[in-house]
């Protein structure tokens, strides 16, 4: 069975400072990994994904994530946080191969960027 | 180009009733997945439809059923509603690896 852990319920960061939102996963085989953001009363918006290739993935709005196979982690990062980045962030994993289509999400991390 | 649309946006039902939620996928997408997001939780996979067939199902009871139409739109039906079914129901469409989510339908069961 696949699973995702987001160890921090909330992350607070000052505007302009770098931010990191942590994610670890468990899955058989090489994972497909995703980050989504959710604003209040909205659906999920795709930020970035790792399927294969370079371990550093660049996504929307200046976000990036680093895939670390040995630590089974896929932490989300941004060099300089904006107040508008304040939202709920979800990490998700999908097992590779045919017959596996579901995304398994973490519980989410609330990011608050303080002006 | 419209993204994923869902209807209705909000719904209030009472225990024991039945509900149907609707989803229109993003143009060009042929696969629809449904997720349940309870308050304070991440989305949980209900099932996925492709070529009008249920392709994979998550750990949800048979009270949850679905359908996909020839135009790729989809419905989620929930019978015998329980208080615990109160949640945001998200539809996601895809063509390949990416998933595009709709804004969701918020269901409240009283």
Question: Which among B40, B97, B102 is the nearest to A43, CB-wise?
Answer: B102
- pLDDT for A12 equals 98
Q: Would you state the pLDDT for residue A40?
A: 85
Q: B84 to chain A nearest CA, in Å?
A: 18
- Residue, of A52 and B92, whose pLDDT is higher: B92
User: Which residues in chain A have Cβ-Cβ distances shorter than 8 Å to B48?
Assistant: 101-102
Taking 50 as the pLDDT cut, the residues of chain A under it are none
CB contact B55 to A (< 8 Å): yes
Give percent of chain B with pLDDT exceeding 90: 89
For chain B, the C-alpha Rg in angstroms (whole number) is: 13
Which residue among A51, A103, A108 sits closest to B99, beta carbon to beta carbon?
A: A103
Disruptive mutation site among B2, B4, B9, B43 for chain A (greatest number of A CBs within 10 Å): B43
pLDDT digits (tens, 9 = 90+) for B38-48: 998 999 999 99
Rounded distance, CA A24 to CA A68, Å?
Answer: 9
- pLDDT above 70 covers a percentage of chain A that reads 99
Average model confidence (pLDDT) for chain B? 94
Instruction: Say how far apart CA A25 and CA B48 lie, in whole Å.
Output: 22
pLDDT at A99: 72
> A3-26 pLDDT, tens per residue?
999 999 999 999 999 999 999 999
- Rounded to the nearest 5°, which phi and psi values hold at A83? -60, -35
pLDDT of residue A42: 79
User: Does the pLDDT value for residue B37 go beyond 70?
Assistant: yes
Contact B42/A at CB under 8 A = yes
For residue B101, what pLDDT is reported? 93
Longest CA–CA separation in chain B, Å: 38
In chain B the beta strands, taken as DSSP E runs, fall at: 5-7, 10-13, 19-24, 31-37, 44-50, 53-57, 64-68, 74-78, 87-94, 100-101, 105-109
A61 to chain B nearest CA, in Å? 17
Residues of B in contact with A103 (CB under 8 A): 33, 35, 43, 45, 92, 99
Please list every residue in chain A whose beta carbon sits closer than 8 Å to the beta carbon of residue B31.
101
Q: Which pLDDT band, with edges at 50, 70 and 90, does B1 fall under?
A: low
Whether the predicted pLDDT of B108 surpasses 70: yes
Instruction: Tell whether B58 lies on the interface with A, counting CB pairs under 8 A.
Output: yes
């Amino acid at each position: 069975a696949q699973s995702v852990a987001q160890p921090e319920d909330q992350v607070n960061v000052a505007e302009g400072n770098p931010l990191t939102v942590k994610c670890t996963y468990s899955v058989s085989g090489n994972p497909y990994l995703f980050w989504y953001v959710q604003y209040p009363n909205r659906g999920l918006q795709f930020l970035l994904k790792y399927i294969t290739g370079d371990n550093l993935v660049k996504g929307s709005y200046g976000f990036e994530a680093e895939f670390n196979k040995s630590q089974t982690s896929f932490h989300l990062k941004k060099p300089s946080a904006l107040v508008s980045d304040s939202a709920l962030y979800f990490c998700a994993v999908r097992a590779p191969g045919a017959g596996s289509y579901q995304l398994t999400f973490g519980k989410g991390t609330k990011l608050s960027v303080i002006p | 180009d419209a993204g994923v649309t869902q209807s209705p946006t909000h719904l209030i039902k009472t225990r024991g009733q039945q509900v149907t939620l609707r989803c229109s996928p993003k143009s060009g997408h042929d696969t629809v997945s449904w997720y349940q997001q309870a308050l304070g939780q991440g989305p949980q996979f209900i099932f996925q439809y492709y070529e009008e067939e249920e392709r994979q199902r998550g750990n949800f009871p048979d009270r949850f059923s679905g359908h996909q139409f020839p135009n790729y739109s989809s419905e989620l039906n929930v019978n015998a509603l329980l208080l615990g079914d109160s949640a945001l129901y998200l539809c996601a469409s895809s063509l390949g690896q990416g998933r595009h989510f709709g804004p969701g339908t918020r269901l409240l069961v009283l």
